[in-house]
Amino acid sequence: MLLKPTLDDLNLIGHNLGRVMTVTAGAGLLPLVWAIAEHEPAPASAFLLMVAVYAILGGAGLHLRSQRKHLSWSHGMVVVALVWLLVPAVGAIPFWLSGHFAGYLDAFFDAMSGITTTGLTVANDLDHMATSMIFWRHLLHFLGGQGIIIAALSLFAGAGVAALYHSEGRDEHIFPSVGSTARFIWLVSVVNALLGVTVLAIIGTASLGFDVGRSIFHGITIFMAAFDTGGFSPQSTSMAYYHSALYEAATSILMVAGALSFGLHYALWRRQRHLHRNIEARTLLITFFGTLIITQIGLVTLGLYDTVGPLTRQSYFQVLSAHTGTGFATVPSSELALWGGLAFAGMAIAMALGGMASSTAGGVKALRIGLTAKAIVAQVKKVLLPEGTVISTRFWLNGPKDLSSDVVQGVMTATLLYVALYLVGAGAGLAVGLPLQEAVFESISAAANVGLSVGVTGPGMPTLLKVTYILQMWAGRLEFLAVFSLFGFLWATVRGR
Amino acid sequence: MMRRLLAAITLVLIAVAQPAAAAADDIDLADLLADPAAYADAQVALVGELIGDYGFRPDGTVWTQLNDDPYATAPLHAAGGTPSGGNVGVGIVGDRSMFHELDPPGRFDRVGPVVRAVGVWRYHDDARGGESYLELTDLEPIWPGYPIQQPLSRPVLIVAIGLAAIAVLLLAGAVRKQRHR
């Protein structure tokens, strides 16, 4: 029997929501300042409105007081699930007022796509969009990828922060305290930002011939979309806009950095040994090259690329983008739709598997894939070896660990939930009349927070699909538990005792 | 409004009045993108707005994007444009001399020049790692670019200022409360 939440529960949740909203209001000042600096008065007024709404929600939440000081796990889960709904709901206001979206639902779709680092878009006329508005789209990637909660944790020390941290789908403790871990994540991000933007801006100026200001603009936006494995682009033609292998190479490095867990970043910074034994790194390498080979065989079979050079460059970039969950493309969506057969299979599998746990990438995650494979091998051994043989399965993740049945159960549950989520979206696609391949591709892209499209996602997409993809992006990013907790909380509010 | 109307009329007149030889090669970009392989290495002509950036590369070429969509004459935020879907664009490249006389490319604050771009459609070009783009042989300006501005909505501004004032009071109250505890 679920217990009905008390007023004290609601106050505790409201207070913590208020904290996060206040931090988000602070982040919202950045596009406001940008709009003022760029002489974009209409977007500036829209951003002022957005910041005001965030701040009102924040201020109202901070006024709520609870008898309890500690957030329980269930409170944390509910807060996080609500944060990931409220932030895009308010963040959609400037998009809605920009005139580039057919209505609020479309604006909300893009805001949800931004915060969940998906990158699917239903924007009209992106190429004439205000630079401050584009910056806000990409900043949503950054906030979502680095974790709004992480930002709040870095600023507000307090009891029960671990509940919030884990509710956002992060399992990693790089340092003993969650606050220190949060600050390390920001340190990694800032260092990568400085390096990434500088390198992209230099390439933009020296190689692509953009003026310095525009090179920096492209550098900032592309960095945020690549490192946070988001996929929004300042131009409608995505990475094909740049026509530069060098720019693609620099972006590839950022995409890989974004798909690595922050624990692995820490290990790399500390030049720790045993990196080659890390189960996630090994799994990611195997699945990346596996899906790359599958895709390449498919493309050769289709006869889309005649020679090795183009085949390698185009397949490498698209598969890397899919596997890291970024969603950049160097081919138009109409052409991606022609990647049938094995090329489709390679891309779909790459998207579905995703990057590392506790990274900015979505999908099932390399850790779960690796552990699932180990569990299957152990099961096969159990069948083949003499009865009564004790089989101990170990794996390496920041040290040697035993593969317990609890871990296997958790991994299998999450994997099954992802598969179910992919199927639900594909079913919705089929329901509105999409061909199977397109329905599956787009559904995986939304649920695994990738953002590649074969042309289905767009302003003219049926409302059913927009709503389905919004829910998929939200559930996929939060890895289900927080979402289920919110539904349970609402149920308890209505039917609990 | 008048300028956009004139631009639209001009585009229609050009489409109708083009010499027969040139008209044979004129295609919609949407058609080209729907079946890009069919036009591989063919001479084609596209009409559209130059948008984004002019990338003046060290090798003497300029890369930019050409959009063939309704927003070339009616951007959404500049009073009157209606949502008509995503942009339809493609990369074009030509010699630096072709771009000397052109206005800056289109962005939020301006409509870029509308041009007739004639060139060879390079599809999955081996020499450029499989990129697809239009290699220009001629770039003919049709209509110059012009500045645009999104009108400021006074109701939005008034509501925003009002809510911002409430937000400041609420946050100040919360901070005061925190200090008292």
Whether B70 and B113 map to the same domain: the answer is: yes
Q: Give B-chain residues touching A245 at CB under 8 angstroms.
A: 129
The whole-number pLDDT of residue A425 equals: 98
Listed by number, the residues of chain A in 313-352 with a beta carbon closer than 8 Å to a beta carbon of chain B are 313-314, 330-332, 334-335
B126 touches chain A (CB under 8 A): yes
Is B21 in the same domain as B86?
Answer: yes
The verdict on B13 and B39 lying in the same domain is yes
Same domain assignment for residues B15 and B95: yes
A460 inside 8 A of chain B by CB: yes
Task: Show the domain range for B175.
Answer: 152-181
Task: Looking at the structure, tell me whether residues B93 and B172 fall in a common domain.
Answer: no
A207 and B58: CB-CB below 8 Å?
Answer: yes
Distances (CA, A) of A255 to A28, A219, A258, A271, A319: 25, 14, 5, 21, 11
How far apart CA A243 and CA B55 sit, in angstroms, is 10
Chain B segment 1-30 residues within 8 A of A by beta carbon are: none
Total tally of structural domains belonging to chain B: 2
SS3 B39: helix
Are residue B102 and residue B177 in the same domain, yes or no?
Answer: no
pLDDT digits (tens, 9 = 90+) for B160-175: 999 999 999 999 999 8
CB contact under 8 A, B65 and A55: no
Question: Are residues A49 and B159 in contact, defined by beta-carbon separation less than 8 angstroms?
Answer: yes
Q: In terms of pLDDT, which residue wins out, B16 or A138?
A: A138
Q: Are residues B40 and B101 in the same domain?
A: yes
Q: pLDDT digits over B104-124, tens only?
A: 999 999 999 999 999 999 999
Please report, for residues A33, A459, B50, B79, B99, the alpha-carbon distance to residue B68 in angstroms, rounded to integers and kept in the order given: 33, 17, 9, 20, 18
Q: Are residues B161 and B106 in the same domain?
A: no
Instruction: Give the C-alpha distances (Å, rounded to integers) separating A476 from A97, A123, B27.
Output: 28, 22, 42
Interface touch A127/B52, C-beta < 8 Å: yes
Q: Which residues of B touch A124 (CB under 8 A)?
A: 71, 76, 83-86
pLDDT at A67: 80
Inter-chain residue contact A459 with B171, CB threshold 8 Å = no
Find, in chain A, the residue whose alpha carbon is nearest to that of B125: A310
The low-confidence residues of chain A, meaning pLDDT below 50, are 159
What is the pLDDT at residue B16? Answer: 46
Q: CATH number, domain at B105? A: 2.40.50.140
pLDDT score recorded for residue B13:
47
* pLDDT tens digit sequence for A80-117: 899 999 999 999 999 999 999 999 999 999 999 999 99
pLDDT at B17: 45
Distances (CA, A) of A388 to A82, A383, A392, A406: 49, 10, 12, 21
Say if residues A288 and A355 touch (Cβ distance below 8 Å).
no
Residues B158, B122, single domain; the answer is: no
Q: Which residue of A has its CA nearest to B84?
A: A124
Q: Which tens digit of pLDDT belongs to each residue from A283-340?
A: 999 999 999 999 999 999 999 998 999 999 999 999 999 999 999 999 999 999 999 9
Q: What is the 3-state secondary structure (H, E, C) of chain A?
A: CCCCCCHHHHHHHHHHHHHHHHHHHHHHHHHHHHHHHCCCHHHHHHHHHHHHHHHHHHHHHHHCCCCCCCCCHHHHHHHHHHHHHHHHHHHHHHHHHHCCCCCHHHHHHHHHHHHCCCCCCCCCCHHHCCHHHHHHHHHHHHHHHHCHHHHHHHHCCCCCHHHHHHHCCCCCCCCCCHHHHHHHHHHHHHHHHHHHHHHHHHHHHHCCCCCHHHHHHHHHHHHHHHHCCCCCCCCCCHHHHCCCHHHHHHHHHHHHHHHCCHHHHHHHHCCCCCHHHCHHHHHHHHHHHHHHHHHHHHHHHHCCCCCHHHHHHHHHHHHHHHHCCCCCCCCCHHHHCCCCHHHHHHHHHHHHHCCCCCCCCCCCCHHHHHHHHHHHHHHHHHHHCCCCCCCCCEEECCCEEECCHHHHHHHHHHHHHHHHHHHHHHHHHHHCCCCHHHHHHHHHHHHCCCCCCCCCCCCCCCHHHHHHHHHHHHHHHHCCHHHHHHHHHHHHHHHCC
pLDDT of B24:
43
Distances from the Cα of A169 to the Cαs of A149, A311, A480, A481, in angstroms? 11, 36, 9, 8
Q: Do A49 and B63 touch (CB under 8 A)?
A: no
Residues B40 and B115 in one domain: yes
Asked if pLDDT for residue B23 goes beyond 50, the answer is no
Predicted pLDDT of residue A2? 72
Residue of A nearest to B167 (CA): A56
Residues of B in contact with A123 (CB under 8 A): 86
Together in a domain, B170 and B116: no
B140 and B93, same domain (yes or no): yes
pLDDT digits (tens, 9 = 90+) for A111-129: 999 999 999 999 999 999 9
B43 touches chain A (CB under 8 A): no
pTM for this prediction: 0.92
Query: B176 to chain A, minimum CA–CA distance in Å?
Result: 10
Q: Which of B63, B76, B126 sits opposite A243 (nearest CB)?
A: B63
- pLDDT band, residue B41 (cuts 50/70/90): very high
Name the percent of chain B lying above pLDDT 90. 71
Which ipTM did the prediction report? 0.90
A102 in contact with B at a CB cutoff of 8 Å?
A: yes
Q: Nearest-CA distance from B44 to chain A in Å?
A: 19
Q: Is residue B103 helix, strand or coil?
A: coil
Phi, psi of A70 (to 5 degrees): -100, 135
CB spacing of A124 vs B62 below 8 angstroms = no
Q: Is B135 on the interface with A (CB under 8 A)?
A: no
* Contact yes or no for A464/A243 (Cβ under 8 A): no
Chain-chain contact of A99 with B76 (C-beta, under 8 angstroms): yes
